[in-house]
């Protein structure tokens, strides 16, 4: 059985849902595939809190009506600040029900290019022909695992993305590898679950962000009563003042003349750091800074960690809070033929203003777009820019490399 659709959106997280909302509002038929907020609900530990501010955590819809404020009013229950993970997941699912009530929960198995379209094969064998495909499947396949831990069994070492909770670590010794928000918050959650925790990080010290409970200065600067707030902090507020405005404008970031400079700015904007409200929760957690794990070997049912200074740790488990490294070749639904036609730099596709790759009609959103548009694409705050960019592109008729991609528009 073969169905047709002008646009197939793969992924039902914030980027997929936002893009579906914008396209449909523009009169462009789009089918969205995936389970709403699946990564957020299944591959992030329960109890986590959003690091982003309230104003930077709205999933974008074309009318700005489906905000966290709107969900809070509709759910008839206040939402804490910072936003708890489970409330954000529920918000995303509510958002999806408003904009894509016919969400197709089936998994996409494969995308194959055809003469003037794509064949999208679903898990049950049905095929959908789509003139354009928007990949918005998030970062799940991109978990970074350091070489020292590459061949260890899951009972001894795992990535944070493999956990939705830490209750099973009660009474066990766990080394958390990393020094960013994920590492620090997971360490706090492990400690609170009854584990004996040590954080091991390469950075010489934890960089604490000046916000959260107890930060009066930050609260004053971000207050709506502060007349300089709009000057210091754009809505997304990613990075220090000055850089945060550049990050907030992806079209400017894309015009930075060299990749090296773009990389330096991006790294400075999203350096490993922890939110201020974690400090008290980590007061009883051991911190080992300025050290890397050079070897990790099984030893009598436990894990032996050799650090760069020659010291050794014996633990029950190592939790890798080592982030994600984009490599679209890890998307199982992209076959070698498509991958071979993609113009990529270190795993990230090079994208046009409409988030279109070197394969005409194939678009990428979220983290894979960060190489082209900057670190905003790694955050929910980037959903608006990305969704608008794709929608504008799909309402035009570009000619790329001699291949005509038909315009998709609800306009007569």
80-139 pLDDT, tens digit per residue, is 999 999 999 999 999 999 999 999 999 999 999 988 899 999 999 999 999 999 999 999
408 has pLDDT over 60: no
Q: For residue 170, what pLDDT is reported?
A: 98
Q: For residue 411, what pLDDT is reported?
A: 34
Q: For residue 235, what pLDDT is reported?
A: 77
C-alpha distances (whole Å) from 136 to each of 20, 91, 321 are 11, 18, 23
The answer to whether the pTM exceeds 0.85 is yes
| Angstrom distance (rounded) from CA 323 to CA 295 | 19
In three-state secondary structure terms, 121 is strand
402 has pLDDT over 60: no
Of 395 and 170, which is predicted with more confidence?
170
- Classify each residue of 38-70 as buried b or exposed e, where b means 16 or more C-beta atoms within 10 Å of its C-beta: bbbbebbbebbbbbbbebbbbbbbbeeebbbeb
Query: In the block, which residue shows the tokens 């009609």?
Result: 361
| Angstrom distance (rounded) from CA 94 to CA 154 | 34
383 has pLDDT over 70: yes
The mean pLDDT value for 244-263 works out to 90
| Angstrom distance (rounded) from CA 83 to CA 71 | 12
Query: Cβ contacts of residue 386 below 8 Å, gap of 6+?
Result: 15, 18, 19, 355, 365, 366, 369, 373, 377
400 has pLDDT over 50: no
The mean pLDDT value for 383-412 works out to 66
211 has pLDDT over 80: no
Q: Are 352 and 360 in contact (CB under 8 A)?
A: no
Structurally, at CATH architecture level, domain 147-207+272-320 sits in: 3-Layer(bba) Sandwich (3.50)
- Domain 2-142+324-404 belongs to what topology? FAD/NAD(P)-binding domain (3.50.50)
Dihedral angle computed from the Cα positions of residues 288, 290, 296 and 301, in that order, rounded to the nearest 10 degrees: 0
Q: For residue 242, what pLDDT is reported?
A: 81
Structural element, H or E, at residue 246 = helix 243-247
Q: For residue 398, what pLDDT is reported?
A: 46
Give the pLDDT band (50/70/90) at residue 238. Answer: confident
The mean pLDDT value for 128-151 works out to 96
384 has pLDDT over 60: yes
Burial of 256 (0-12, 13-18, 19+ CB in 10 A): middle
In the chain, CATH 3.50.50.60 covers 2-142+324-404, 147-207+272-320
Residue 55 tokens, joined:
């104003």
Average pLDDT across the chain, whole number:
91
Give the pLDDT band (50/70/90) at residue 409. Answer: very low
403 has pLDDT over 50: no
- Least confident stretch, 118-122, 142-146, 230-234, 350-354: 230-234
| Angstrom distance (rounded) from CA 110 to CA 96 | 24
Give the pLDDT band (50/70/90) at residue 215. Answer: low
The mean pLDDT value for 11-32 works out to 97
| Angstrom distance (rounded) from CA 240 to CA 271 | 10
- Least confident stretch, 3-12, 140-149, 228-237: 228-237
397 has pLDDT over 60: no
């Amino acid at each position: 059985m073969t169905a047709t659709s002008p646009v197939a959106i793969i992924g039902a997280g914030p980027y997929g849902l936002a893009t579906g909302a914008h396209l449909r509002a523009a009169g462009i038929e789009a089918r969205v595939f995936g389970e709403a907020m699946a990564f957020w609900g299944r591959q992030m530990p329960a109890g986590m809190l959003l690091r982003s501010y309230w104003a930077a955590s709205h999933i974008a819809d074309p009318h700005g009506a489906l905000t966290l404020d709107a969900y809070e009013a509709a759910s008839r229950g206040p939402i804490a600040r910072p936003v708890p993970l489970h409330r954000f997941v529920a918000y995303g699912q509510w958002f999806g029900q408003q904009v894509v009530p016919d969400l197709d929960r089936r998994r996409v198995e494969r995308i194959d290019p055809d003469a003037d379209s794509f064949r999208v094969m679903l898990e049950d064998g049905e095929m959908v022909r789509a003139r354009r495909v928007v990949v918005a499947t998030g970062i799940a396949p991109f978990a970074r695992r350091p070489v020292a831990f590459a061949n260890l069994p899951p009972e001894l070492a795992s990535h944070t993305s493999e956990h939705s909770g830490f209750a099973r670590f009660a009474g066990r010794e766990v080394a958390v590898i990393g020094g960013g928000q994920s590492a620090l918050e997971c360490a706090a959650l492990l400690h609170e679950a009854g584990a004996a925790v040590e954080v091991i990080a390469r950075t010489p010290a934890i960089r604490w962000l000046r916000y959260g409970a107890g930060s009066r200065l930050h609260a004053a600067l971000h207050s709506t009563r502060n007349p300089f707030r709009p000057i210091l902090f754009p809505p997304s507020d990613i990075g220090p003042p000055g850089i945060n405005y550049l990050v907030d404008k992806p079209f400017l970031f894309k015009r930075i003349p060299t990749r090296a400079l773009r990389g330096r700015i991006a790294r400075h904007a999203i350096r490993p750091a922890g939110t201020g409200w974690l400090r008290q929760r980590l007061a009883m957690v051991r911190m080992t800074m300025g050290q890397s794990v050079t070897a990790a070997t099984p030893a009598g049912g436990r894990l032996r960690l050799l650090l760069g200074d020659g010291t050794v740790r014996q633990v029950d488990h190592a939790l890798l809070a080592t982030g994600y490294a984009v490599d679209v070749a890890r998307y199982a639904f992209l076959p070698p033929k498509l991958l071979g036609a993609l113009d990529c730099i270190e795993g990230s596709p090079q994208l046009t203003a409409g988030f279109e790759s070197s394969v005409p009609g194939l678009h990428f959103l979220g983290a894979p777009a960060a190489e082209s548009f900057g670190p905003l694409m790694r955050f929910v705050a980037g959903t608006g820019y990305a969704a608008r960019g794709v929608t504008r592109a799909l309402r035009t008729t570009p000619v790329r490399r001699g291949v005509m991609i038909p315009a998709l528009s609800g306009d007569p």
